Structure formats: C-alpha cells, structure tokens
Amino acid sequence: MNNIYKIITVAIGVLFLFYFIHLFDELPKINFRDFLRAVNWLYVGISLLAYLLSHALRALRIAILMGRQDYSLLKLVYLQYYTNGINLILPFKLGEVYRIIEFNKIIKDNNKLVLTVIAEKTLDLLVLFIWAILAISFLGNGIVELK
C-alpha cells in the first residue's frame, strides 16, 4: 500500500510538471525557455544546498533540544524533510501540527515534543528578530531600492 501511495504521488508530480511546461509554452508574453537560460544555475544550486542543509540542521536541533540519544538521526532528518513538505502544502500552520504528530511517532513523549517545538519556534523568532535589527542598523531605516 505504501508503494502504491509513492507511485501515485510521483505520477501526480510528473503530471503537474507537464501541465506547467505546457502552460508556459502557451503563454505568448513570457518566453519560458529564455527565462531559464537567464537563470544563474550556480545561485540556484547554492540556494538549494543551503535550504536542504538548513533543514538537516533543524533535525539536529530537535535532537539536541530533546536531549535523548535513543533514536536515529537519519530518521529525524528524513522526518524533517517529509514534514517540511507537508508544512508547505497545508495552510495556517497546520503543517506544524502534522509535524508534531509525525515526530511523536518516534519520540513518544508528546508534552516534551510540544515544548521542544515551541522552543524551536521561539529560537527561530529570536534569530530572525536579531537579524532584522542588525539589517536595520547597518542599512539604516531609509527605503532601500532593490534591483
């Protein structure tokens, strides 16, 4: 049953890919092929690598915050990637609830897991707040023109 689910999800993904390729080929104002040629693929690769590394580090952070050593780090990294995909699909932060449910299957301590996720989100907020303060300090509070 699990293999059938994986095959169906891959097939749906391929169908969406073909649909969007067909859709972009029909748009008269946007030349998608020229757009793809103009993309700096080095930046795309570096961004993708940084994104994947950040989620691997988030799984490591969950393991450190939980303070236990009796579960597989690879399983946590896999669950982090999986639940992040679900989190991107579900609206209104319902993906975080799903993330707690999935991680609870491994960790099996619901109270500690919820507190860990709250602590993780608090750390994320603090880091973003500090970065925003530093950016405002260095850039000033004037309007910055982006090109």
Structure tokens at 147: 């090109």
* pLDDT of amino acid 144: 63
Structure tokens at 45: 């690769």
Tens digit of each residue's pLDDT, the chain (147 residues): 677 877 888 888 888 888 888 777 766 666 667 777 888 889 999 999 999 999 899 888 888 888 766 778 888 888 888 888 888 888 777 888 888 888 888 878 778 888 888 888 898 899 999 998 888 888 776 666 666
Mean pLDDT of the chain: 82
Give residue-wise pLDDT tens across range 67-77.
Answer: 766 778 888 88
- Looking at this protein, which amino acid is placed at residue 47? S
Residue with tokens 């932060």, as numbered in its chain: 93
